[in-house]
Amino acid sequence: MKINKVTLLGHKDHGKSTLIGNMLITSGAASEQRINEAKKTSRKLGRRFEPGYILDSFEEERQGEMTIDTTRAQVKYRDVAFEFIDVPGHEELIKNMISGASYASFALLIVSAKADEGIRPQTKRHIFLAKMLGIDRIIVAVNKMDTIGYDEKEFERIKGELGEFLGGVGIRNDNVYFVPISAYNAENLSAKSPNMKWYKGKPLLDVMRTVVKSNEEVEDPHLRILLQGTIPHETGSMLIGNVLSGSIRSGQRIMILPEGANATVKDLFVKGSRTKSASTGENVAMLLDKPISREPRGSVIYSEGSRQRPSDEIKATVFLTKEIGEKITVRFNGSNLQGKIAINSLIDTTTGSREAPKSGNYALNAADVNIKLGKKIQAEPFTDSRELGRFVLYEGSKFAGIGIIK
């Protein structure tokens, strides 16, 4: 069955691991062995039973009560399945958060309703990042309702405050869902809680189910094949690549960019067997009627006559994880490219507003930028092609951030 990937956002101690732990227990996905281990660890640490220990697999995590890195948990609920990508709430581990969020189709944000916990700037930064990575549907679980006497007014206040911010970063109102829960007591997870009769919506897992059920992705019919390289074959050197969108058939006329060469597909293979056509998501091997002039890695195949043009300049929104200079490395679909970056405006990730660049450290900031590359690449706006519209920034060998092409 299809697994819907969900990225978990939220501050440390707001109850992410507890929530997932209880979901794993209620859905029967956690083995007895895991539950017993978690019970044993809880006892050893002199604490009450903590369902979150089912997830946290490293000694340091259990003792420090934190999640160090992205981890994986799968939950089946009625006719749908979810995979939670738990992400750390720690500031310094933001690159791991990005790694986890980059695979998800929607976000589950956990915010504690407990006095003094509430929404943190860092939580807002995570939402901003998730949106930047293409996640535009968010379910907000307002947790620890039991600690504030299941107060509807406080729930509404948090809803109002977050709703405004979400609108500010461009997440549409009708794509946001709020559910009041108690992760520890498993209230409003799969069954409605008698303590929150004022809440008229569905329990959390049902809301999640509704969100994935309503998600009908429209397939882009335009052919795009991202090339990985070549493999030797008895009939000659074959191009290998992944069909990002559209479909291709044997005999079709194609164009390769940035080369700009046209060719005909002479022979086509999918999963090791000769085939007449291949479609989105498939990995192909193909023989063209003529050799291509340069290393194919990172090149893109379109249909002949496509109006796509390569460029050595990109306009993008970036999120920086460290301070950078002008010289940067852009990692784009398997290639490392040297470039010069110029910052046009800074974006406040906690409000979504833009301002003129100022001197100083841009770490953990977002910005609109221009990047001039040493050679032409075949890219597209993120809104047209996710795969061809995003890149990773490095400075030397250090991860420096991510970018989305405009």
Interacting residues toward other proteins by CB under 8 A: 1-3, 29, 31-34, 37, 57-59, 68-74, 76, 81, 95-96, 98-99, 102-103, 228-229, 231-233, 238, 240, 242, 269, 271-272, 281-283, 285, 297, 331, 333-334, 386-387, 390-392, 394, 397, 399, 402
How far is it, in rounded angstroms, from Cα 336 to Cα 350? 31
| Least gap, CB of 333 to other proteins (angstroms) | 7
- Taking each helix axis from N to C end, the angle separating 94-101 and 121-132, rounded to the nearest 10 degrees, works out to 40
The answer to whether 71 touches 61, Cβ cutoff 8 Å, is no
Nearer of residues 247 and 262 to other proteins, judged by Cβ: 247
Burial per residue of 321-358, b for 16 or more beta-carbon CB atoms within 10 angstroms, e otherwise: bbebeeebbbebbeeebebebebeebbbbbebeeeeee
| Least gap, CB of 389 to other proteins (angstroms) | 10
| Least gap, CB of 305 to other proteins (angstroms) | 27
| Least gap, CB of 280 to other proteins (angstroms) | 10
Provide the edge-to-edge strand list for the sheet that holds 3-9. Answer: 71-77, 80-86, 3-9, 106-112, 138-143, 176-180
Nearer of residues 188 and 333 to other proteins, judged by Cβ: 333
Q: What is the DSSP letter of 217?
A: P
| Least gap, CB of 92 to other proteins (angstroms) | 10
Nearer of residues 269 and 362 to other proteins, judged by Cβ: 269
| Least gap, CB of 211 to other proteins (angstroms) | 19
Nearer of residues 150 and 391 to other proteins, judged by Cβ: 391
Question: CB under 8 Å to 202, separation ≥6 — which residues?
Answer: 179, 192, 210
Nearer of residues 28 and 149 to other proteins, judged by Cβ: 28
The answer to whether 126 touches 157, Cβ cutoff 8 Å, is no
Q: How far is CA 220 from CA 223, 226, 279, 390, in A?
A: 8, 15, 11, 17
The answer to whether 229 touches 334, Cβ cutoff 8 Å, is no
Nearer of residues 156 and 387 to other proteins, judged by Cβ: 387
The answer to whether 210 touches 203, Cβ cutoff 8 Å, is no
How far is it, in rounded angstroms, from Cα 181 to Cα 141? 6
The answer to whether 251 touches 210, Cβ cutoff 8 Å, is no
Burial of 221: CB neighbours in 10 Å, binned 0-12, 13-18, 19+: exposed
Nearer of residues 102 and 112 to other proteins, judged by Cβ: 102
| Least gap, CB of 282 to other proteins (angstroms) | 6
| Least gap, CB of 239 to other proteins (angstroms) | 11
Nearer of residues 24 and 179 to other proteins, judged by Cβ: 24
Nearer of residues 151 and 395 to other proteins, judged by Cβ: 395
Helix or strand (DSSP H, E) at 153:
helix 152-168
Torsion of CA 15, 97, 210, 280, to 10 degrees: -160
| Least gap, CB of 367 to other proteins (angstroms) | 18
